[in-house]
Amino acid sequence: MSSKMSVEKQEDILCFFINGKKVTENNPDPETTLLSFLREKLRLTGTKYGCGGGGCGACTVMLSRLQPATRTITHFSVNACLLPVCQLHGASVTTVEGVGSTKTRLHPVQERIAKAHGTQCGFCTPGMVMSMYTLLRNRPQPTMEDIIQALAGNLCRCTGYRPILDGCRTFCQRDDGSRQEANCCRANGGEGCCLKGEQSPEEPAHEEKPRLFDKEEFLPLDPTQELIFPPELILMAEAANPKTLTFRGERMSWVSPASLEELLQLKARNPDAPLVVGNSNVGPDMKFKGVLHPLMISPTRVTELFEVTRTPQGVWVGAGCSLTEVRSLLEKLLPQLEQEQTGLIRALSRQLGTLGSQQIRNVASLGGNIVSAHPNSDLNPVLAAGNCKVSLLSAGGRRELPLDQDFFVSFGKTLLKPEEILLSVFIPFSRKGEFFGAFRQAPRKESSFSTVTSGMRVLFSEGSRVVQDVSIYYGGMGPTTVGATKTCAAIVSSPWDDETLSRAYDVLLDELVLPLSAPGGKVEFRRSLTLSFLFQFHLEVLQKLKEMHVITEEIPEKMQPLPREIHPGLQEFQHVSKEQSDQDPVGRPIMHRSALSHATGEAVYCDDLPATEGELFLALVTSSRAHAKITALDASEALRLPGVVDVITARDVPGRKARKMFGYEEELLAGGEVSCVGQLLCAVVADSRPHAKRGAAAVRVSYEDLPDPVFTAEEAVEKESFFEPRRTIERGDVTKAFESVDQAHEGELRIGGQEHFYMETQSMLVVPVGEETEFNAYVSTQFPTLMQVAIAETLSIPSNRVTCHVRRIGGAFGGKVVKTAVLACITAVAAWKTNRAVRCVLERGEDMLISGARHPVLGKYKVGFMNDGRIVAADFHYYANAGNMVDESVLVVEKFLLHFDNAYNIPNLRGHAAACRTNLPSNTAFRGFGVPQSLLVVENMVEDVAALLRRPADQIREINMYRGPSLTQYKLEFSPENLRRCWDECKLRSEHAARRLAADLFNREHRWRKRGVAIVPIKYGIAFSEGFLNQAAALVHIYKDGSVLVSHGGTEMGQGLHTKMQQVASRELHVPAAKVYISETSTNTVPNASPSAASYGTDANGMAVQDACRTLYQRLEPVRLRNPKGSWESWVQAAFLEKTSLSATGFYKGPDLYMDWDKKEGRPYAYFTFGVCCCEVELDCLTGDYRTLRTDIVVDIGRSVNPSVDIGQVEGAFMQGLGLYTLEELKFSPSGLLYTRGPSQYKIPAVCDVPLRFNVYLLPDSSNPHAIYSSKGIGEPALFLGSAAFFAIKDAAAAARSESGLLGPFSLNSPATPERACLACASPFTQKIPASKPGSFKPWALNI
């Protein structure tokens, strides 16, 4: 390649501004992104790494540029992880640090997100702040729709989004100009309105209900206080004679030409060099596929690429315009044109609204979108159907080509010659009688690559329904955008009616055939979508023809988009008693103690710790085979690369080379054999992240495949491949009971796995102290003690030489325990061997590949029941796919059987559970620890019984619910009274009966839209069933100035544990909460602590902190009695002078819980948390898309220590459950490789998935003698309540099936993705698709 020719001149200086300060770089590396530049070069660590691919929004910053043509300054949000720093010449960047800080002044966005409780772990918060801040810079008074669109590309795994939206909602304006009410009861469907002093019918007149936050306290938004665009950049932009910029890095060069002529010459000399505008295509290819371009050309300063020219026939749009600019341009054109001219413009605008996220649309160019030629492009089918054309330019001249099927040659290839550039795109105005349709279906409603897209156009002569011309294009139906030419031929010259379309469907099915093993899978669904889209277009066109009086017959059904307006929700909790001191924070909705630090980016996470002198970075080498012998591992090439210091293998481990659990060993680094793709083989340490990554890629591993890998639960059962012990439990006599039942039924349910997707990936830093083999380990973990013990054993040193520090964790959910210990041990070996600090931070794809997930489960059941609805016998078999290592799988399957009664007193109940040993990456603990899988099978069984008896499922649930003093299957006594109260309260609050009737009415009136309602209970056992894990300790110091430092064994990962401990200390010491500080969790202050897990953190650590504080308060008693009116500070000072110890440890032994599996009885839980959730969804039967219209949750959590934290836990857990049961899908290749290794392939819930009305009620007048201040653990139980959305979808699908005459139980596996929901509806279109026979082809993905 001739890149040297084009870049022989001297390099230039890059000049831009960050937070108002000038930055000049003499030799920027084109491979450096803005994110790494901010974090590593400038130490601005508020901007976070979440995924590296522009899919999560954690790295959002604001970019401001002067548009020279209009002299206007534009502000737009961008993903710093995709933006090359070389692209920033002449731009101004604002990061979260530049918006506001706790040291100077908070910005209202930061304050409102924090005080509205919109932050839990806080890792996503700076990105949220920046997306909202950018919106406010452009629109100081946004609408709710603006906010939802601005936040669509920002993911949060903790909060469930509701509090973030509530905080942002306070910036909205009503139509009359006043601020919008964040909590209006009228908006919640109430009849009366609190603003008018009215009461809703069932509410007696009494004092005002407590609120989670008071918006009257918020700082007003003052746009005049924002940072100005640097005047120096304005002068720079207006200077005459812009010159070409050239930057050279270690492996590649970057040229930014200043004129079109120069660009064409560059391209002629370097035809293979890509043009980079948004880097949303080239960037991910380089990062994730290892593509290297020796030269990149950035044409962003070539003005001709951004010109817009309007002609009488249409508009030429510059190919460099961003998708945001294109949409804005199209929307500005609408009022200037006749209605009949706007068909194509409206169709394009609709597609642009959901293509990517706001951050992606702000940088991705129209030309880049076309030329990248993605098979499932949202725009290309619409542009092709609309007869658009492109203008291509090279040094040899200009040519115009139609954007049609021939333009897209093959996967990622077009008719563009290597030396050509795409200059502009012509979008024609539509004509009279010409109609357009644009359709897309994606795994998630927004910020998601499409499964299938379509653009359609039809032309009629005036006053006729006979088709003159038609074009139909699809994306996602082959390697390129495809045109349905035969289908069009079958329609042309025929009247647009059912008969013509019916013929067209058959032609279309024959014309667009996908092989059953097509990449991306979902073949039946994709084929059915081609028909559904054509049918939707058919209905839309009929509607238009009727409006124009061309036809008079009735239209079957007007297709409306699913509802999307998010309303304010209700969050109800009890006031504290009037007697409680104002200073006592317990029971009040106190803001998370780090919320302001989260919102300003000041909160320090593991990878935010500054690098120490000589620090190295560690990258891992993983297995590419699922079941093989390692025949050779050659690191010689890696060791020759720049910056690589060493390679760590199993031979380097001085102590224990494996971690042992349940009698099985897990090697830290595989020696002779690998048992899954992603198993750790060795590690490369280098002087920087990029060097370590390149070193890891250069390690060569040779394998010899071993026969018959096991991937599925069925294969494991067939080959008896299990981790022992397997468990069984029984109450009553199941076999005998089946002899006397009225009806019996057998069924099964598959539940897919779930990736933790904590926003902060696995992160650790191990620092040798320098003497006596002492190490400090800074690890993002839920279990510091395990890290300490594991590192000590691996290095063969005593535990007292290792201190593990955890300040905070950016989310964990069970995924930062076992695998984290393995990673920490490898990092420690590297630090020990090199005697230098070593940092290891996994990239998102590595993390997802290596760290395991929630167990996929195959559940089988047989149920016997009476005709009156009583279930008298049930037999369950659970098979969990444990993966290649035992991890905590044995405990997980035990929990299946400890919970599978859920809320039901089934007199004869039997369960069998097994952890299947397979050649997939080892699965691990995940919030709920097996309960969400176990109970979904149980509730599915209940739904089957209801379907067979033709009765509502809630009646069957109610008939079988525990009543009065009850015994579980393991003979633990409990009272279900509060479970029944939650059930009754939820039915009342959700207006369940009325909404059930309304849904039935809706379903009778709509053929292609159905509503479903479901109400689901949970009984969840709290604490560790291994009694020794329930202990906790704390250390409390009082300093001479009266300030208090609390240390305890729990870790803060967003669940508000430190905030609650601060509340406990404040109450017990009778001091304001502001006097109490919690710095970190470390093994040198509180030894031998249990993991922060099992929803038991507050219960155990709260009691320990209480014990220490009471000891101290007791010690101060003599001083207090002598000076009762003295201040706290005076008492502390006096006690110090009297030589009273102002430091105390606290200890809580915890309950002695156990489970005897031989006797099948025990007391594995301290108590139960109860909850009930009612969900209503609306389902589009043609595409499988759905919206959760309303969710009402009632939970019994005793007396809440902090209602804002607890409600946040309920909402966040529900949304995680919603993801598990309706959205999140792990896909593995037939050879065991995880396909879904990032947010572009794996979809967690986003803002677009929040229930449109989301109400949470904490059950009043409840208490719990078994926990601190009568509270209850709440972290995990509510996750299962997300299954209410699953069963509501199933209910809606049942209504759709009944239209086709299909009644009774049917199979719907979890997650109920659009694909599964659509196929379950069994519409006439899905029934046209020939069913595939399993075993007759090799599927694209395994059915795990």
Q: Which residues are catalytic?
A: 1276
Distance CA 729, CA 673 (A): 36
C-alpha dist (Å) from residue 543 to 151, 179, 457, 1261: 34, 39, 15, 55
In terms of DSSP bridges, do strands 1044-1048 and 1076-1077 run parallel, antiparallel, or are they unpaired?
parallel
Distance CA 803, CA 828 (A): 12
Residue 920 in tokens? 């997939």
- Nearest alpha-carbon partner for 463 in 433, 501, 494: 433
C-alpha dist (Å) from residue 1157 to 282, 894, 1167: 56, 9, 20
DSSP secondary structure letter of residue 906: -
The amino acid present at 42, given as its one-letter code, is: L
C-alpha dist (Å) from residue 1342 to 203, 318, 577, 1337: 53, 44, 56, 12
Asked if 1148 contacts 1100 with a C-beta cutoff of 8 angstroms, the reply is yes
What dihedral do alpha carbons 1211, 1213, 1217, 1220 form, nearest 10°? 130
Residues shown for the chain: 1344
Distance CA 957, CA 969 (A): 18
Asked if 1296 contacts 1323 with a C-beta cutoff of 8 angstroms, the reply is yes
Asked if 1148 contacts 1107 with a C-beta cutoff of 8 angstroms, the reply is yes
As beta bridge partners, residue 255 has 246, 297
Residue keyed to tokens 């340490």? 685
* Neighbour-count burial for 1121-1141, b at 16+ CB within 10 Å, e otherwise: eeeeeeebeebbbbbeeeebe
Distance CA 939, CA 1292 (A): 16
Distance CA 1317, CA 675 (A): 35
Residue keyed to tokens 């719990």? 1264
Where do runs of H (alpha helix) occur along 884-991? 889-899, 931-949, 953-960, 977-989
Region of 943 (left: φ > 0; alpha: ψ -120 to 50; beta: rest) is alpha
C-alpha dist (Å) from residue 510 to 230, 409, 530, 537: 60, 22, 12, 19
- Nearest alpha-carbon partner for 1051 in 602, 605, 585, 584: 605
CA 712, chain centre distance (Å)? 26
Distance CA 1258, CA 1210 (A): 10
Residue 201 in tokens? 């019918």
C-alpha dist (Å) from residue 545 to 337, 382, 761, 1023: 21, 21, 54, 65
Asked if 1020 contacts 929 with a C-beta cutoff of 8 angstroms, the reply is no
- In this structure, the number of other CB atoms found within 10 A of the CB of residue 1302 comes to 15
Distance CA 1018, CA 904 (A): 10
- Nearest alpha-carbon partner for 535 in 508, 564, 561, 562: 508
Distance CA 699, CA 680 (A): 13
Residue keyed to tokens 């049930």? 874
SS3 track for 500-518: HHHHHHHHHHHHCCCCCCC
